[in-house]
Structure 1
Amino acid sequence: MSQATYRVPTFVRGVLSRLPVYPGSLLFSGGLNVVLKRHLPDDTLKQLEGRLLRIDVRDAGVVFDFVYRDGAFRAARHEGEVALTIGASAYDFLQLARRTQDPDTLFFSRRLTMEGDTELGLLVKNSLDAIDLSTLFAARVGPMAAFRRRRPTQQP
């Protein structure tokens, strides 16, 4: 099936694009703090300090503006000069997160865009590539294993 098949439906885009930006950015930056921040090197975080970043989920009509400041990712208002905008479809962002698609392949096929400070974009890309996803998700999912439904043991 082609990538064009995986698009946010027009009706959903219409609803999502009308939502205020800041609450979504607040949730997104909170997720970055919980899942990602502790896995990023200190020198990367230092270079992100005070820089306005934007994630643009094009087919959903949604953007997330955030900044790294005072030791945490924080939601930012949709205003001012953006240091780096990374844009793609929801499907392509999912593929990147699952690491089933290479960012360079998406970039050169024009499905992933970077606008603004390209050096900062490469820093973000390389830092994310260096993260071992097995440790990233094991830390979040592992504790939940205790709550999984257990199968009854078979009696001989």
Structure 2
Amino acid sequence: MLALVCRDICQHAPSLLKIPLHRLPHRLQGPLLEQLLNRVLAEPLQRGQLDFLAGARLQVLVPDLDYRLTLTLEQGRLRSLATHEADVVIRSELQDLIRLSTGELDPDTLFFRRRLLITGDTELGLACKNMLDSLDPDGQPAWFRRLLGVMSAVVRQADMAAQTKAGRGEDNT
């Protein structure tokens, strides 16, 4: 039963999240995301692991949310940009980004399964992938790890429901 509820959450969450993400203007959304990302990535920022973003634009594209987040590094802090122009684009579905953030899946696995796509500046893209690979989930704030843990558990339960359904030969559409 729990697996079925989690499957429904995973199926409907992206469409529900689209509404606030698209209605909240960048001038309000940007500062909130900047504060969150700078807090969550404080250790890598302090160690200079994101210095390669200085003067460059990284875009995270989440197709199931129909959402783009464009970032740069200014004065040692991540900044959200209102532009859709980017030097490199990292594209992945929400569930895979959750798995990546918890360390459940690594960027290489997602990349070779074509579930993490990196386009644009090759050198910058490789630096982004290496940075993602080097991130330690234990370095994230405890509240964020707990949130990601809950989200990851929901995704795992949804996968179990999908596998059970597929094992019975039911249509997944």
TM normalised by structure 1 equals 0.71
Structure 2 residues without counterparts, runs of 5 or longer:
146-173
Partner of 2:29: 24
Please say which of residues 7-16 and 112-121 is displaced more in the overlay: 7-16
Equivalent residue for 1:107, pick from 101, 111, 121: 111
Give the number of the structure whose residues are more often helix, by fraction: 2
Q: Compare CA radii of gyration and give the structure with the larger one.
A: 1
CA RMSD of aligned residues (A): 2.9
Partner of 1:152: none
Alignment of 1:66-77 (within 5 A): 66-77=71-82
The structural deviation recorded for 1:125 is: 2.2
Tell me the distance in 2 between the aligned counterparts of 1:119 and 1:39.
19
Partner of 1:57: 62
Please say which of residues 24-33 and 99-108 is displaced more in the overlay: 24-33
Q: Tell me: CA distance 1:89–1:10, structure 2 relative to 1, closer, same or farther (3 Å).
A: closer
Whether the 8 Å contact between 2:31 and 2:80 is mirrored in structure 1 is yes
Q: Tell me: CA distance 1:21–1:46, structure 2 relative to 1, closer, same or farther (3 Å).
A: same
Structure 1 residues without counterparts, runs of 5 or longer:
142-156
Paired-residue identity, % = 30
| Residues 93-117 of structure 1: CA deviation (Å, up to 9, x unaligned) | 1010111112222122221111111
Q: Please state whether the residue corresponding to 2:78 is helix, strand or coil.
A: strand
Matched, 1:45 2:50: yes
TM normalised by structure 2 equals 0.65
Q: Please state whether the residue corresponding to 1:18 is helix, strand or coil.
A: helix
Using CA pairs below 8 Å that are at least 6 residues apart, which structure has the higher relative contact order? 2
